[in-house]
Amino acid sequence: MQRLRRWYAWFVRRAPRIRDLMYIGFSLLTIVAQAASGKPGWHTGDWMVLGVGIVASLALWWRRKYPVVVTVIAVVALGSVGIFMPVGLALLTLAIRRRDLAMGVLTFAAYVAYVLQNRPPDGDLWVPIFSGPFLIGAWVAVGAYIGARRDLMASLRDRAERAEAERELRAEQARLGERARIAQEMHDVLAHKVSLIALHAGGLEVNPAVGADKVESSAGLIRETARQAMEDLREVLGVLRTDLSQAGADLAPVPRAADLERLVEASRAAGVQVTSSLMLPDDVPALVGRTVYRVVQEALTNVHKHARGVHTEVLVEGAPGTGVNVRVTNVRPVAADSLLPGSGAGLVGLRERVTLSGGRLDAGPTQDGGWRVEAWLPWSDGKEGER
């Protein structure tokens, strides 16, 4: 079986050249038969037919690389000694390779040579004139059909390869998008709680003389915040293990606008002086409420990291038709150092989230050296669906 496969592979590799040898052999047989079909014995004309025919037949070996030159040689052979088989095979190859002006000119030249070589002794040209298109045109038509079919198959193969490449590109883009969504969700879920833990620990570090009650209270807050962070992390990893995120499932519990008060209270418990004005109706759409929560969460997380202990103001107000305004402003911090290093992805991901919701986000320093994060989100009169 292995030997048979090797022979088949060898035949497939050598098949074009084997066909060339078969064409040359068939052409030589017809030429020998034509040269020997005249009067008994070999005359000058017979030797001329044989010599020109051998040259035209051997030229078929290069018919793939130089189809025009080989066809010109075959047409000259047809016009000089009336050899037809080489010109037929040459026109077949030319029609397969190219269907343009050169093919049309050489086809007409072969037709003229055929008519001139096959005119009757009485000079009546009607018979070769009417039979020539069928004989010459048959070779050209078969070659044109084979060439068009090959071009079609090559086009379909190219389209299939492009479609496969585009499918792989879309799959890769989907994977990258999913990885970015997971990274953003992990940042939103864990960064806030980790910053709260660092804030509590930093308070104990800078003031080690606090009483045992304060230490116990802060340790309890750190433990509870760490437990919540671990639960959120476990839920995210659980979604990843079960591969539910491919269907668009959320990687963590969906926050709502009603959770804003709890978010602000967690920052107050960590020692941040937060004043809040949360005037948002209960019927806020889920997408808007989730985005508002993320804006406030990221702004407070940055306060925990870079401006701990400073006064911060949180303002959230909105109504259907006018949209939701969110503004988180903190005064200039006394200390310049940060409790935690910044990843640089928080505001970038937040800006992308707000933009996808149809809103806008501005973040930058204030005139007194503080920092302000301000966002506006659209809220139409109709209910919005989940993202």
pLDDT value of residue 133: 87
Which positions ≥6 away from 38 have C-beta within 8 Å?
Answer: 45, 46
pLDDT value of residue 203: 66
Task: Read off the pTM.
Answer: 0.48
Question: Could you please report the per-residue DSSP string of 129-146?
Answer: HHHHHHHHHHHHHHHHHH
3-state helix, strand, coil in the chain (%, to 5): 65, 10, 25
pLDDT value of residue 182: 67
Are the C-beta atoms of 235 and 272 separated by less than 8 Å? no
Mean pLDDT, each 10-residue run in order, the chain (387 residues): 78 81 88 77 78 89 89 89 88 88 90 84 76 88 91 91 88 75 69 72 65 71 74 64 47 69 84 86 83 88 78 90 91 65 66 85 88 90 48
* Residue 255: DSSP 8-state: P
Cβ burial 320-332 (10 Å sphere, 16+ → b, else e): eeebbbbbbbbbe
Cα separation values, 275 from 65, 261, 262, 264, Å: 84, 11, 13, 9
pLDDT value of residue 327: 94
Residue 150 carries which side chain, given as an amino acid letter?
A: R
pLDDT value of residue 247: 44
SS3 66: coil
pLDDT value of residue 204: 66
Sign of torsion, CA 253 259 264 269?
negative
- CA nearest to 127, candidates 115, 110, 112: 115
Both tokens assigned to 136: 């010459």
Both tokens assigned to 77: 């052979």
